[in-house]
Structure 1
Amino acid sequence: MILEIVILAMVAAFLGLRLFAVLGRRAEHEEEAIPSRFERAEEPGAERPAAKPAMLPHDILKRRDAALPNEAGVRAIAQADPRFDIIAFLEGAKSAYGMVLEAFWKGDHEALRELCDDDVYAQFAAAIEEREAAGETMDNRLIRIEDAAIKSAELDGRIARIAVLFVADIAAVTRDKDGNVVAGSLDDAIESRDIWTFMRHVDSSAPDWKLDETDEG
C-alpha cells in the first residue's frame, strides 16, 4: 500500500513538473511583445537608436544611384541656399511644367506672367495672339510626365539656374473658330521632349522658381 502511494506521488510530481514547464513557456510567450512588421525586435535593455538628423541637399546627392549631371552646380546652389532641396525642386518643376502648358493652351496670360520671366512670357503671349488671330483654339491634354531629369545646373552670382529635361505624353488637338478639328487627335498621344530652364535668386524670400528658357530636348 505504501509502495502504491509513493508511486502515485511520484507520478503526480512528474505531471506537475510537465504542466509547469508547458504553462511556464506559454506564459513567457504571452508576455513577450510581438513586433509588428514595421517594428524591429529589440534586445532587452537595449537603448533605442537616436533619431536621424534631417538630410541636407549634399546628403541627398550622395545617396543618388546615378551620377547627377553638373553635380558641382547643384552643390553650389545648395551651399548658397540652405533651403534648397533637389527632390522638392524636381517635384515643383513637374508641377510648373503642367501649369505652364495648361495656361498656354487656354491662353491664360495672367498665369503665364506669374510662372515665366519676361522673355519667355513674351514668346508665349505672341503665340497666343497669333492663334487667336487665326480663330484657333487648342484642346490639348497632358497625359503623363514620363521623366524629369536635371540636365545642367549653375550658380551665376546669386542667380541659380537649373535645366530640366521633361519627357511627357501629350494629346494635342487644334480647333478652328467653329470647333472643328484641324490638326491632331485626343486619341493619339505623342511623346514630347522639352528642356526648360528655371531660375531663382537664392537670396529671395520667395521660394518660387520662374521659367527662364525653353528648348526642345
Structure 2
Amino acid sequence: MTPEIVILAMIAAFLGLRLYSVLGRRAEHEEEPIQGRFEGRQGQKPGAPRVSAPPRPDQRSDDRARAEQPRQRAIPLAPPSVERGLAEISQADRRFDAAAFLDGARSAYRMILEAFWKGDKAELRQLCDDDVYAGFAAAIDARIEAGETLDNRLIRIEETGFTAAGVENGYARITLRFRADIAAVTRNAEGQVVAGSLDDAIETIDVWTFGRAVNSPDPDWVLEETDEG
C-alpha cells in the first residue's frame, strides 16, 4: 500500500468519525422533549380538542344571548329624555341602531343640501315629506325665476347631536342638531357672484327632525321639519 493511499484512508476515517459524532449528538438532542414548546394554552396538548368553558350555573339564557350580541357603537352624549326616547324607538323597532342612524343622518344632511342647491327636486322628493319638499320646491322656483343659481359647498360637518327622540302612535321622530361649515355663493344669470364667497366658510347650525313609521317595511327616514339653531 502506497503512502498516499494510507494518508487518504486516515483522512476518510477521521472525517467519518467527525460526521458520526455530529449526527449522533443531533439525533440524541432531537429525542429530548423541549418543555413548553408544543403545549397548548393552559397545558393543552397538541391535537387535543378545544372545549369551550361551560356557562356558569347562575347565568340565564337571556343573559348569554345579550352577551353574544355585538355591542352598538358609541353615540354622542344626550340628555336623559333623549336617551329614553331612543330606547323607546329601539323597543318598537328592533332593527333600529342609534349610531347607524346618526351616520345615515349625516349623509342625508349632505344629500338634501346639495340637492337643494342644485335644484334637484326629484332627489328632494325622495328624502323629504310633503311639507318640507313644498318649501324647498318653492325656494327653487323663486331662485329660477330670479335667474340665480347657488354655488354652495358643504366643507365639513363639525358636530351632530341628538336633541329629541320618541315614539307616538307608532311613529318615531328624532331631532338632530347639525353644526357645519358651508361656503355659500349666489350667482346671477350671467354667472357673476352677487352674494357670498367660496373662500370663507360660514358656520351654520341646522336643527332637523326625521320621522318614520316603526312598523313600515321601508327602513328609510324622511326629513319632516327644518329649523335654524
Any residues of structure 2 matched to 1:19-168 within 5 Å, and which?
A: 42-45=41-44, 53-55=68-70, 60=72, 66-69=77-80, 70-168=82-180
Deviation at 1:151, TM superposition (A): 0.6
TM-score by structure 1 length?
A: 0.75
In the alignment, the residues of structure 1 paired with residue 91 and residue 142 of structure 2 have an alpha-carbon distance, to the nearest angstrom, of 43
1: CA distance, partners of 2:148 / 2:103: 32
Change (3 A) 1:202 1:187: same
SS at match of 1:206: coil
AA at the equivalent of 2:216: S
**TM-score (structure 2 length as normaliser):** 0.72
For 1:53, the aligned partner's letter is E
Matches within 5 A, 1:190-209: 190-209=202-221
Give the whole-Å Cα distance in 2 for the aligned partners of 1:151 and 1:65.
Answer: 11
* Percent identity between the two aligned chains: 54
Across the two proteins, how many residue pairs are aligned to each other?
185
Structure 1 or 2, whichever has the larger Rg, is: 2
Q: What's the counterpart of residue 184 of structure 1?
A: 196
Structure 1 residues without counterparts, runs of 5 or longer:
1-15, 34-41
Kindly provide the CA deviation profile for residues 169-198 of structure 1, in whole angstroms up to 9, marking residues without a partner as x.
111111000000111111111111101000
Q: Distance in 1 between matches of 2:96 and 2:209?
A: 16
Structure 2: runs of 5+ lacking an equivalent: 1-24, 45-49, 54-63
| 1:60-94 deviation digits (Å, cap 9, x = unpaired) | 49x66734452111111111111101011000000
| Distance of aligned partners of 1:48 and 1:113 in 2 relative to their CA distance in 1, 3 Å threshold | same
- Cα distance, 1:100 vs structure 2: 0.2
Q: 1:64 to 1:150 in 2, by over 3 A?
A: closer
The alpha-carbon distance between structure 1 residues 167 and 43, as it changes in their structure 2 partners (threshold 3 A), is farther
